[in-house]
Amino acid sequence: MLTTNQYKKVAIGDCCEIISGSTPSRNKVEYWDGEINWFTPKDLSRIKSKYISEAPEKITALGLKSCSTTPLPKNSLLLSSRAPIGHIAITTIEACTNQGFKSLIPNKNLDVEYLYYAIKNIIPQLKDLGNGATFKEISKSTLSKVQIPMPPLAEQKQIAAILDAADKLRQKDQQLVEHYTSLSQSLFLDMFGDPFDGDTYPLADHIFILGGYAFKSEDYIKEEGIPLIKISTVNRGYFDDTNFSFLPESFTSKYEKWIIKKNDILMSLTGTVGKDDYGNVAMASDTYEKYFLNQRVAKISSINNSYHPEFLFGMFSNARTKQELTKLSRGVRQANISNRDIYGLKMIKPTLHAQNKYIVAIKTIEQQQKQAQKNLEKSEILFNSLLQRAFTGELTANKAA
């Protein structure tokens, strides 16, 4: 049994066959709607499993012959090489891909389940190796030279099994969080229906939006001061208090306008086109007494006693609200929502009595969801820790001891 950091490293090109893909002409109907699975990077972005079994699009035998795409056997590893670099999945079927892939067929000394995690562990490195002006792409030549640890085959299977178990725990916790999110959405719809239907009112008359301040990174301090709420704090749809930058306590008087307190409603205004990382809302937690609000994050509050804060949060958390906002976003690659976009919406305004009934009902769900979210954060930390340790020999060294 090899000990820590003694796994030999092998170039990907020496342990895998690297296969590129291609796209048949879209103008030839006879090339499409066949029986040959044909994947694009977008297809991999939609899956939650590490396996992929069917493509939304299929090509014909004529389509296959017409271009340079190559059939892949099942148990190949699909690796997107551009737009973006780093989507991966194991095929459970024979398939081919478009030109956005450098897929890997492992040799007999390499377990595909282990390869999946070995590649997952170096995705940041692969992204850094990408080149291109319009979008980054990693070439076949570059990928072939990248090295991965290569323990004996039996040990590869042990590593994959350990990581599988941790990943299943993480996925189970993720599903529970999604379940409570769905319950929250259902409760709102059951009580109020579509927030854009019926008697609606301009939000500009009933809410106030405070945009964040462009704090300078050179003002950050190493010791704890006042934590800074950034896009990353709220862009996953919950308040992430695990990775703050801090500003001096002495900034309080000068930047008092941008101080955030517990239960303030926050929205991420900037993200990536096509991703679920903007237009998300979260309530500030009580982890700290106060926070500063950074640029491209908005604080949304009610005026004229129009909305109870927790109802306002529920309304902005609603999938329909996000759908309306993201339709208005601008940008080719970077999506931006403006204060004007939010003010321009016309939405329902139930009586405060009706809002209070909703708040009573939602509290139980929120408590369970918070616990599920904490469990998810713990399982993600565990998985990432195991992933880092897996390729140094630590995991299997303990089993051998």
| Contact in structure between 231 and 270 (CB atoms under 8 Å) | yes
- Tokens representing 59 are 């090509």
How confident is residue 1, by pLDDT bands cut at 50, 70 and 90?
very low
Instruction: Convert the pLDDT of each residue in 77-91 to its tens digit.
Output: 999 999 789 999 999
pLDDT of 273 strictly over 90? no
Q: Are 73 and 112 in contact (CB under 8 A)?
A: no
Looking at residue 401, its pLDDT comes to 43
pLDDT of res. 398: 55
DSSP strands (E only) in 310-400: 334-336, 346-348
Average pLDDT over residues 264-289: 93
* Whether pLDDT at 3 is above 50: no
pLDDT value of position 396: 78
Cβ atoms < 10 Å from Cβ of 67: 17
Name residues whose C-beta falls within 8 Å of residue 85's C-beta, 6 or more positions apart in sequence: 123, 126, 127, 130, 136, 137, 138
- For residues 203 and 273, which has the higher predicted lDDT (pLDDT)? 203
Tell me what the mean pLDDT of segment 287-308 comes to.
96
pLDDT > 50? residue 2: no
8 A C-beta contact, residue 233 and residue 298: no
Rg over alpha carbons for the chain, rounded to the nearest Å, is: 25
Q: Dig out the tokens for 29 from the structure.
A: 């109907």
Question: pLDDT for 196-213, tens place per residue?
Answer: 999 999 999 999 999 999
Q: What CATH code would you report for 200-348?
A: 3.90.220.20
Cα(115)–Cα(313) distance, integer angstroms: 43
pTM summary value: 0.73
> For 118-131, what is the mean pLDDT?
95
Lowest mean pLDDT among 177-181, 300-304, 393-397: 393-397
Q: Coil, strand or helix: which one is 104?
A: strand
Q: Where are the domains of the chain?
A: 9-151, 155-187+355-388, 200-348
H or E element: which one contains 302?
A: strand 297-302
Q: What is the mean pLDDT of residues 338-347?
A: 97
Please tell me the number of Cα atoms within 13 Å of 262 on its side-chain side: 5
Helix (H) or strand (E) holding 117: helix 112-121
pLDDT of residue 309: 95
d(CA 361, CA 366): 9
pLDDT attached to residue 370: 87
Q: What contacts 24+ positions apart, CB below 8 Å, involve 240-245?
A: 240/282, 241/285, 241/287, 241/288, 242/377, 245/217, 245/220
Q: What is the pLDDT of residue 310?
A: 94
> How confident is the model at residue 122, as a pLDDT?
96
Tokens (6 digits) for 351? 């009586």
CA–CA dist 268, 356 (Å, integer): 26
Supply the pLDDT for residue 399: 55
Give the residue among 24, 55, 51 at the shortest CA–CA distance from 42: 55
CATH of domain 9-151: 3.90.220.20
Residue corresponding to tokens 């090899």: 2
